Chain A
Amino acid sequence: QVQLVESGGGVVRPGRSLRLSCAASGFTFSSYAMHWVRQAPGKSLDWVALTSYDGSEKFYADSVKGRFAISRDNSKNTLYLQMSSLRRDDTAVYYCVRVDCTITNCLFDYWGQGTLVTVSS
């Protein structure tokens, strides 16, 4: 069965950096685009970033562009999110998500359990 397990969350001071990881199993990781989605406490879901199946294409939400970097290691079935210049409004649970796209639809079909990032002094 598909499993996505995030790690690396924690408490970090504003302006500092943090790297999240997501270990994938149960499917052919190198065949899927992978995304990060976050959810601030009590708020809705907020798309953060995506990487194509081979890592050649990467896209970001405007709110994190220039500060966050998504990457993947298909030999290790692992997705990463390097977060820099963290701000208090980056505080959220960060989910690693497999997304299955057709010509007309992109479905966030499998989610990890999430890892909490708290930005606080």
Chain B
Amino acid sequence: SYVLTQPPSVSVAPGQTARITCGGNNIGSKNVNWYQQKPGQAPVVVVSADSDRPSGIPERFSGSNSGNTATLTISRVEGGDEADYYCQVWDRGRDQYVFGSGTTVSVL
């Protein structure tokens, strides 16, 4: 089955940039979605189809995807960005819906 690998945690100072990676075999050939989950809440889409931002999501959130790595970038990090972040792809060939292992973003 297709596996998505994320770093367990990322720490960043307020105002700085956080980069969260999502590794997968030739992930650049797939569309990657990113979800933010705060404690006790359901996940929320922050980036879809590699780099699209849903309405209501700040421009500080952006995404890219190439080769074997997709990246979610959070610019000018704020305390409210502290959360778990998950990448997700649809492995069309196997018809599997795969989530990454998740990354906890901590704001120092």
Residues of A within 8 A of B (CB): 35, 37, 44-47, 50, 59, 95, 99, 101, 104-109, 111-114
| Number of residues of chain B lying within 8 A (CB) of chain A | 24
Q: Are B101 and A44 in contact (CB under 8 A)?
A: yes
Q: How distant is A81 from chain B, measured CB to nearest CB, in Å? A: 16
Q: How distant is A63 from chain B, measured CB to nearest CB, in Å? A: 11
Given A108-B33, A109-B45, A111-B43: A59 touches B100 (CB 8 Å cut-off): no
From DSSP, what is the main secondary structure of chain A's interface residues? strand
Report the Cα distance A111→B33, complex, angstroms. 14
Residues of B with C-beta under 8 A to A35: 97
Q: What per-residue 1/0 map shows which CB atoms of B32-58 lie under 8 Å from chain A?
A: 010100000111110011000010000
Q: Are B92 and A108 in contact (CB under 8 A)?
A: no
Report the Cα distance A113→B41, complex, angstroms. 7
Q: Are B99 and A44 in contact (CB under 8 A)?
A: yes
Residues of A with C-beta under 8 A to B35: 45, 108
Residues of B with C-beta under 8 A to A95: 42-43
Residues of B with C-beta under 8 A to A99: 97
